[in-house]
Structure 1
Amino acid sequence: MFRKSTALTLLGFGIFLSIMILVFPPVPSFNYDFEQFFPQDDPDLAFYQQYEKDFESDNDYLLIALQNPSGSLTSVDFLKKSDLLKKEISNLDGVDTLISILDLEMPVIGLFGISFNKVLDWESAENLEYSGPSLKQFEGSLISKDGQSLLFLIRNNPKLSKEQGDTLYHQIKEVFLQSELKPHAVAGKIQTQGDFVTLMQEEFSLFLGASLVLILVMLVLIFRTWWGVLVPVLVLSIGIFWAFSVILYSGKSLDIMSVMQPTIFLIVGLSALVHYFTHLIKNIRVGKVKEEAVYETFRELTFAVSLTIFTTAVGFFSLYFTSIPALKAFGLWTAIGILVLFFGLIVITPGLLYLFPIAKAKAFQKPASLFWQRLFSWIILKRKLVLYTFLGITLLSLFFGLQLKVNGFLLDNLPLDHPIQEDFAFFDEQFGGSNPLEIYLSTGDSANSLFDYAVLREIEKLETKLTESFGERQLISPVSLVKSLNQAQNRGNIAAYSFPSQGQFLRMSRYFDQILKLDGPKVISSNQKAGRISGRVGDLGSLEMGKKRAELLDFVKKEINPDLLRVRWTGTAFLIDHGHESVTRQMFQGLLFAFVVVGIVAGFLFRSWRLSFILLIPNVIPLVWMLGLMYLLGIEFKLTTSILFTVAFGIAVDDSIHFMTKLKTELDRGKNLLYAIKRTFMEAGRAILLTSAILVAGFALLSFSQFGVTHFTGLLISFTLIFALLADLFLLPLLLFPLKKVWDKKTESRSKD
């Protein structure tokens, strides 16, 4: 396959394929849909999807805080300008409703039935002064706690696509550009996903360019020849071009996880090319002609390199076993991209090498053999120290790792100083929160309606507990409707916004049907047997929210009568928190899959289950050390960090496979085990060190990303690869020595046969 004629034919095919892609190019699209991080096997997701149909989405909103830049919030001029803004935004396509204090009306029950009075009347300064005290009731909901901001709660159409959401957000910004008033803070889905995509596009281009620069620098340092730089650059560029073409032809949009793919493809491909090129230069230095050197290089190394590519792809593909669509897609398409890249490398590289004059190449000056001899001797002499050191660090890391908690935040992927973080923090502090809180309510067997007085009493107890857990905040629920009617019966007196007595309740019951027909958030079903408690809370993190949810459900179990009321958590924030927990659990399934695949590969390669087991040890240890590192750096388990264990294993195992395939080559030449280990350490050690340096440098580049998932990928995998290098060089040879007796018996048995 790698003879000159075949290689040139394959090169021609590769050029033709590239031209066809250029003629019929795929169209790239960027997308960020955080709902792709919901665990799909979670029964709570199916429940929420039905809940969303019955009531409404809890996440299709945009919060905008307005402040008067020249004075008080209760300024006639400011309120008129704000009202004009409200009307313009309300008329935009895609806006479902806009809730604000400006047009809020409260019911008042009089002699002639129910009527509605505006909370805020700014027709005159006198009217405004009169309505001022009523604003106190809405501080922390539609008015900020400090009384300096009013809120626009814009509910957009839940069926908006990403592009339609971007258009709506752009139109809202245009409205503000034409106004004297500017938003003090903005938070919501259509804003966040738009800013995420913008940042993602910037980082995608940045890291693609930075990765190319890094490769150029490394190639110049390693090979110091024009062809040693040009050929890898051409091969990797075409290979990545093919990989992304396959991804885009499938209809897959580039998302937040795609930011890492250019760097991953480049460094994995470069690592493979370095193995080929160093071996090629070695063959040329011993006097082989170019054609023979190229042929033997690819014939001898392709099996070992393909194994490392395969195990790397397996590491990413193991993410497919999670229940998170975004991670499944990332794992699947990164694995496919790596395989496509390797296909491009095999198709293009031999032909290019045959075309270029490489006979006079200057070889990279490898470290002196004396260094590797001394290092090997030191490892043998200090083997107890080495073994005890690895054991001690591993046990300590395992102990620290068991202290780690699962804790994720909604905006984990954004830097702490990003404007979106600051705006969300503002809403958490001044408006009770930016995260939706949703609790589903349904009647028990002994209740006819959520408007039964006894049921409402149970809901009131539940809301009191919520206030204890999350602090005072505005909640909408069947109880809030009843409290509003009680206030209406008392001529709008703020003090009457409270749970009614039975007599008050009986008087207001005739208005229930009328109040339910009003526009606004739906809090109860048409048959009055199902409803919701809805509000907003701050982003406390999945760990703290998990404790509060457990505490509330324990309260429900002990204090709420299930024959009257049944309670269930739901909502998008709840599902995201489940995503953090489920991925952490599923990480072990992915690791088990990767372990089994690598074990089978090693068993097939060496026909020995002992060697398969030994191969896994120096690759499990770095993962345990990564646990210890996470503890020391204060990094918790979450969706963005749990996935790294399987990815790191798939990449780190490459060096072990190179070591073991070289060992097998030495053993097949009839050398005894101890000498074969020494020769393998001397020769494979150099290549392992070089490829590890490339991988570490490439992944370290990702640690400069502003995205949390990309930053942690770069940081933790870089350290894990260093740990794997230490394990392969210092521990693996010592683990192989005890097999000498077993190997000698096998050799003796083969000799007799």
Structure 2
Amino acid sequence: MLAKRWAELVMNFPKANIFLVVLVAVILGAGAKDAEFSANQRDFFKSTDQHLNDLIKLENEYASDKNIMVIVEPSAKDVFTRNTLRAIQALTEFGWQIPYSQRVESLSNHLYTRVDGDELMVEYLVSDESTLSDQDLAERRQYATGKVGVKDYLITPAGDIALVVVALNLPQDKEGQAAVEVVDYVKEHIKAIRAQYPDVHFRIAGQVAVEVTLPEIVETDGRTIFPIALVLVFLFLTFVLRDLMGNLACIATALVSILAGMGAVLWSGVKVSPILANTPAIIVILAMADCIHVMVNYAQGLAQGLDKKQALIKSIEVNFSPIIFTSLTTAISFFALNFSESPPFAHMGTAAGIGILYAMLASISFLPALVYYLPSKASGVTVFPPMGGLIRFYQPHANKIIAGFVAVMVLLGSLVPLNRLDDNFVEFFDDNLEIRRNMDFLIERISGSVVVNLSLPATSKGGIYDPEYLALLEDLQNKLQQSPNFRSATSLLEVMKTLNRNMHQDDPDWYTIPDSRELASQYLLMYEMSLPFGQDLNNLVNFDRSESRVIVIYDQLSDKELINLEAQLKLWLQLHEFDTDSAVIGSGNLAFAHMQFTNVNNLSKGFVVALVFISFLLIFMFRSWSLGLTSMIPNLFPAAMAFGLWGVISGKIGFGMSVGITITLGIVVDDTIHFLAKYKYGREQLKLNNYRSVEYAMDTVGVAMILTTAMMAITFTSLLFSDFVPNQDLGLITIITIICAVLVDLILLPVILLKIFGDQDTEPAGSGQRAAS
């Protein structure tokens, strides 16, 4: 028998096993020596992602969307006080000193146009507050709080909060490092400016500030999640095994598995994202499940009078097939994450899968070999009573138990539609983080969170001056404003209409599109000749004036609403006979929405593929179609139950939730395999009838199933301490699923086995002796 030969080989050459397992782990782990942290939200996309490439195309044509912002909130609740305006002026001047600064926008340098005689005057709105009278300030306050493109962007309509925006052109070859450099530079300056203006509150926000939070989270999670998981595992093992040396042997097994799994992936040069960073905690948890099964059966062998070596051989033999197959099924579910549209989840799946397979090898070789040399007894396991007696309670209530589970499934299944697909990159961060609070403040008080860019081609070079083209921009603006979530839009249209009004003595009736292409061209030429440094129109028009960009800001939109908005915009383009291949819609928010939809669809395919592989693997393992198909019931029920419960708890299907269902498939199969393996062992090796085989399985593996489930549920709570919300969601949905799974495996599965294969105890009640494990 292969299992017995393997067990004897391990225990006859324990030192060699320990050496080889450690050596291979160290070689694989060397891949982590040059690991880098991810500091770019675009690392969540594949390089071939069409929607991301549309955004990059827009940035190359016009200007980068990367920015950092400073929110200015005066205690007086009025931005147009001289003290606050001086603070904004100081921030504006500082903005040009920020590394990689490309453009600075604020109330201080916003362009204020007017006509003096025949001359077009272009000046800053508030370049020097000391030169303006109180009446001037009042007029400019009224202008700013009512001007399209200024209100809801640089100032609130109430005039109580302002924004300074610095557009950045970060070098592609070191974008993450450059982003960190920028944020550190800004934070240091804000400390100084706070001291100068104690009556003004400053908050740092913006895309780059959000992105650099990623490596900070990786570092923080590295100091919290993994240590917390390790401590929880150690405390749990101490309670269960009451064996310090055994605990250390189990933890050593987990550590070599982490080294192998993480190192193998990092050899490929991938960056450590917040998703990949929680993989060590996952490997620890799943490696411990294997270790607990080995240690429980080892302790039971000692309690039956076997010597240490024979108890370890017996434990390896009994757990050989279950550990191999549970590890394979769990690894398959993690490898299925390679169906994900987001590379970090694929990286996590690969690292965890390799780590799980290495834990499989280490738990049936390295662990028993190490325990052999340590004064380990795992005596605490013997205090847990066997669970086979529950079968006598299940038998007379079998129909009620099945009906109860079916009722629960129907109830929870009816709650599944409460779930909705929704995600937002800002909401990836826990609301206890300063950047999350600042971004929420920005979204609630000043500007929306969703930015959509449209690049609209004209019919020829210089075609953006045509009144027909400008009329299309006006029609588009009217279309955009119909959305209840619309906040503001910036485009060439606003510039041209403002100039036309200026050239007609600021008569509001002339706030219209210029009458001719020549007139529009002259207006824009005069305007651009008057522009100061850094205030050109390159962010709105391309170099040959054949295309222009419309920047639209919306309040919070769900992924579905955002994709529907894109469909409406594409329909508008088609109706107005735009070349939809030339017209580009680009948005980081939109790219995330599409990726999430694709991610869920792809992971659904991955779930099905994993389920098929696992099903055939179980049929092969049990060499029985009936047992293999029966095992699918306790494998599918927990996921369905968890989905229904999630609809009540949250209802939001984000990144963490979308991968959680896939990876928990492999985890919940573990208990089913261990239970059915012991059941099959009872029937085929011990020649027990069906009833006694179910009872034997409950006796030998029931305690270990409860212990592993409790251990995983407790230690997966470590993910709840992450500041990265997808990690929290992953931890919570996993806890819910594995708790549902153990209830199904220890209650419904035994009843199904009794009903399908016969539930009668052929021996008189109480007269039979339970088979020794």
- TM-score w.r.t. the length of structure 2 is 0.87
SS at match of 2:707: helix
Pick the aligned partner of 1:682 from 668, 691, 699. Answer: 699
Match of 2:645 among 629, 634, 647: 629
Of the three residues 165, 169, 175, the one matched with 1:157 is 169
Contact 2:570–2:580 (CA under 8 A) maintained in structure 1? no
Tell me whether 515-524 or 457-466 shows the greater mean CA deviation. Answer: 515-524
2:327 matches 1:305: no
Alignment correspondent of 1:662: 678
Q: Does 1:269 align with 2:281?
A: no
Call closer, same or farther: CA 1:238–1:497 in 2, change over 3 Å. farther
Could you tell me how far 1:497 is from its partner in structure 2?
7.7
Aligned to 1:381: 396
Alignment gaps of 5+ in structure 1: 742-753
Structure 1 residues 249-648: aligned runs within 5 Å: 249-358=267-376, 362-369=379-386, 371-373=387-389, 375-443=390-458, 449-470=463-484, 473-491=487-505, 493=506, 495=508, 498-500=511-513, 502=515, 507-512=519-524, 519-553=536-570, 560=576, 562=578, 569-648=585-664
Counterpart amino acid of residue 549 in structure 2: R
Which one-letter code corresponds to 1:500 in the other structure? I
Report the AA paired with residue 90 of structure 1. W
Structure 1, residues 359-410: CA drift from partner, whole Å, max 9, x if none?
x6525235434x532x212222212112222222222222221342212223
State the 1:728 CA deviation: 1.2
Shift of 1:165: 0.8
Change (3 A) 1:106 1:496: farther
Q: After superposition, give the CA deviation of every residue in 1:618-672 in whole Å (9 maximum; x if it has no partner).
A: 1111111112101111322222211111111111111111112222222322334
1:508 and 1:248, CA in 2 relative to 1: closer, same or farther beyond 3 A?
Answer: closer
State the one-letter code of the partner of 1:658. H
Work out the CA distance in 2 between the residues paired with 1:497 and 1:316: 64
Q: Does 278-287 or 732-741 show the bigger shift? A: 732-741
* Distance across 2 between alignment mates of 1:22 and 1:141: 49
Aligned to 2:236: 218
Q: Answer whether contact 1:458 1:565 (CA < 8 A) is retained.
A: no
User: Identity over aligned residues, as a percent?
Assistant: 20
- Given the superposition, is the C-alpha separation of residues 72 and 390 from structure 1 closer, same or farther in structure 2, using an over 3 Å criterion? closer
Which letter does structure 1 place at the counterpart of 2:321? F
Who is 2:19 aligned against? 12
- In the TM superposition, residue 705 of structure 1 has moved relative to its aligned partner by 3.5
Which of 697, 707, 728 lines up with 2:724 in the alignment?
707
Call closer, same or farther: CA 1:224–1:250 in 2, change over 3 Å: same
Shift of 1:151: 2.0
CA 1:712–1:684 in 2, change beyond 3 Å: closer, same or farther? same
Q: Is the 8 A contact 1:410 1:539 kept in 2?
A: no
Residue 751 of structure 1: aligned partner: none
2:187 matches 1:187:
no
After superposition, the Cα gap between the structure-2 partners of 1:662 and 1:498, relative to the gap in structure 1 and judged at 3 Å, is farther
The offset of 1:238, in angstroms, is 3.6
Q: Aligned equivalents of 2:644 and 2:256: distance in 1? A: 39
Give, in whole Å, the separation in 2 of the partners of 1:311 and 1:151: 53
Which residue, out of 114, 122, 125, partners 1:119? 125
Aligned twin of 1:750? none
Q: Distance in 2 between matches of 1:545 and 1:694?
A: 41
Describe the shift of the 1:516–1:624 C-alpha distance in structure 2 as closer, same or farther (beyond 3 A).
Answer: farther
**Alignment partners' CA distance in 1, 2:46 and 2:571:** 24
Question: 1:126–1:636: structure 2 CA closer, same or farther, 3 Å change rule?
Answer: closer
Return the offset for 1:105.
2.6
Cα distance in 1 for residues equivalent to 2:658 and 2:644 = 14
Do the aligned partners of 1:443 and 1:566 also contact (CA within 8 Å) in 2? no
Q: Distance in 2 between matches of 1:437 and 1:596?
A: 41
Counterpart position of 1:146 = 158
SS of 1:720's equivalent in the other structure is: helix
Structure 2 counterpart of 1:30: 37
User: Given that residues 187 and 434 in structure 1 are in contact (C-alpha distance below 8 angstroms), is that contact kept between their aligned partners in structure 2?
Assistant: no
Greater shift, 319-328 or 2-11, is seen at 2-11
**Stretch deviating more after TM superposition (327-336 or 507-516):** 507-516
User: What letter matches 1:335 in structure 2?
Assistant: G
Shift of 1:8: 1.0
Query: Partner of 1:45 in structure 2?
Result: 52
Give the CA deviation at 1:340: 3.1
Q: CA deviation at 1:223?
A: 1.4
Residue 80 to residue 633, structure 1, CA distance change in 2 (3 Å): closer
Structure 2 spans left out of the alignment, 5+ residues: 1-5, 759-773
Count of matched residue pairs: 733
Matches within 5 A, 1:716-731: 716-731=733-748
In structure 2, how many angstroms separate the alpha carbons of the residues matched to 1:675 and 1:347? 31
Question: How far apart, CA to CA, are the structure 2 residues paired with 1:391 and 1:247?
Answer: 42
CA distance in 1, matches of 2:632, 2:570: 43
Aligned to 1:749: none
Note the aligned Cα RMSD (angstroms).
3.1
Secondary structure of 1:433's counterpart equals coil
Letter of the 1:53 counterpart: N
Q: Normalized against structure 1, the TM-score is what?
A: 0.89
Asked if the contact 1:428–1:537 (Cα under 8 Å) also holds between the matched residues in 2, the reply is no
Q: Distance in 2 between matches of 1:280 and 1:550?
A: 62
Contact 1:56 1:522 in 2 (8 A): yes
Check conservation: 2:713, 2:735, Cα contact below 8 A: yes
Equivalent pair of 1:204/1:258 in contact (CA under 8 Å): no
Give CA deviations for 1:399-448 in whole Å, capped at 9, x if unaligned.
2213422122232222335432332233224433243221232347x999
User: Matched residues in 2 for 1:131 and 1:483: separation?
Assistant: 24
Distance 1:173 1:361 in 2: 53
Relative distance call for 1:189 and 1:72 in structure 2 (3 A) is closer
Q: Which amino acid aligns with 2:645?
A: L
The 1:368–1:260 alpha-carbon spacing in structure 2 relative to 1, beyond 3 Å, is: same
Q: Find the counterpart in structure 2 of residue 172 from structure 1.
A: 186
Judge conservation of contact 1:599–1:612 (CA < 8 Å) in 2.
yes
What is the distance in 1 between the residues matched to 2:708 and 2:119? 81
Task: Tell me how far 1:98 sits from its aligned partner.
Answer: 1.2
